[in-house]
Every structure is written in C-alpha cells, then in structure tokens.
C-alpha cells in the first residue's frame, strides 16, 4: 500500500506529471486561522529535480497559499489518479512564492506555458514523499481544461490584474500579508 520516500522517483514523477489536477494545502502558524486547500490545473506543475518542484500560481479570488508561505513556508501538494490504477502521492516541503517580476522567476517561468494572470511561481523544497492507495477515489474521465480563468485574466488586462490583486490578493482571509502591490 503506502510508502514514504526521501525524493521523487522517476515513476512518481511520471505519475504526477500526467495528472490534470493537483491540490495544494497550507495553513498559518499557530492554532488560529484557516487551513487552505486549493485545486490547480492548466499545465502549471513541473518537477525540477528529485527534491524540488514548482507550479505557476495564477491570479485568483484569494492569495492564501502565498500568505501562508510568507508566514511559515509549510506546504503539501497532493496528486491522485482518477483514471487507471488508483494512487495518491503527497509532497511535503517548504515553499516560497516568487513574484513573476522577480528575476529568480525568469528561469522557472520558462518551464510553463504562458498564462495571462500569472502572479508568482511557487517553488517547493520537497522534504517527504508519500504514496497511498487511492482505492476510494472514484474513476473519472478527463474531458478538457476550463478556459474561464484564462478568459477572465485576458479580459482584465495587465492593468486590471494589478488593480484586482491590490484589492483582492493583498492579504489572506486571516489578515496575513500576501501579495506586494503591484506585481509586474
């Protein structure tokens, strides 16, 4: 059934890179505050090495992950198969949010297709890799990516995205600082 590994093996890399959706979990420090769990997709994930991954963070309704990473760096990514053999992979680690305008993001961004609304690259140093069975995860067939987020970001345009982030992404729902404003 489940295994715990020190790094991402080639087999695990192949499994996670073929998933159309993954999930990101973070939480603020201390006993208060909200745990955040977000689904991600649109070909925004990359394995950078056996102990390093990244994903392209797109502008959305909140910035919880970024705020939590600024607060304590803790992050878990989960991938589960919905087609074929059942399997769940979790990557535990320390992450950082690198704004797209930061020079450190340039090489990382080259790993992903262009997406309007990209606001940061989340880079994770993976400390633990675990697998579990996924026997209770339903079988579902991938149909297509949704286009609405891309259309929304294109409709906002660069200036509109800066304004939106200043209004909606500057702090977390718990009041933690998230995005510096503006992000170029």
Question: Is residue 181 over pLDDT 60?
Answer: no
Q: Is-contact 166 181, C-beta < 8 A?
A: yes
- All structural domains of the chain with their residue ranges: 3-168
Q: Is-contact 126 52, C-beta < 8 A?
A: yes
Distance spanning both ends of the chain, measured CA to CA = 45
State residue 179's pLDDT score: 86
At 32, is the pLDDT very low, low, confident or very high (cuts 50, 70, 90)?
confident
Q: Is-contact 120 64, C-beta < 8 A?
A: no
**What's the pLDDT tens digit per position in 104-116?**
999 999 999 999 9
State residue 1's pLDDT score: 66
Q: Is-contact 113 98, C-beta < 8 A?
A: no
Average pLDDT, the chain: 95
For 80, residues 6+ apart whose C-beta sits below 8 A from its C-beta are 19, 87, 88, 89, 134, 137
**Range 3-168 has CATH code 3.50.50.60:** no
**What's the pLDDT tens digit per position in 135-151?**
999 999 999 999 999 99
Question: Is residue 180 over pLDDT 90?
Answer: no
For 148, residues 6+ apart whose C-beta sits below 8 A from its C-beta are none
State residue 150's pLDDT score: 96
CA atoms within 13 A on the CB side of 124: 31
**What's the pLDDT tens digit per position in 115-128?**
999 999 999 999 99
Measure the CA angle with vertex 59, ends 125 and 19; round to 5°: 55
- pTM score over 0.85: yes
Question: Is residue 182 over pLDDT 90?
Answer: no
């Amino acid at each position: 059934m489940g295994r715990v590994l020190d790094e991402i093996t080639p087999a695990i890399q192949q499994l996670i890179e073929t998933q159309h959706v993954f999930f990101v979990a973070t939480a603020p420090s201390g006993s208060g505050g909200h745990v955040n769990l977000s689904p991600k997709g649109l070909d925004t994930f990359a394995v950078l090495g056996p102990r390093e991954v990244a994903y392209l963070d797109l502008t959305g309704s909140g910035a919880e992950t970024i705020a939590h990473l600024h607060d304590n760096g803790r992050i878990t990514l989960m991938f589960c198969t919905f087609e074929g053999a059942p399997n769940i992979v979790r990557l535990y680690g320390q992450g950082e949010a690198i704004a797209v305008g930061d020079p450190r993001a340039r090489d990382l961004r080259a790993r992903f297709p262009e997406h309007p609304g990209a606001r940061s690259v989340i880079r994770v140093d993976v400390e633990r890799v675990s697998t579990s069975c996924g026997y209770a995860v339903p079988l579902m067939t991938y149909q297509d990516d949704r286009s609405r987020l891309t259309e929304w970001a294109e409709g906002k345009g660069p200036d509109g995205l800066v304004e939106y982030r200043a209004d909606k992404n500057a702090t977390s729902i718990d009041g933690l600082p998230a995005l510096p404003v503006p992000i170029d």
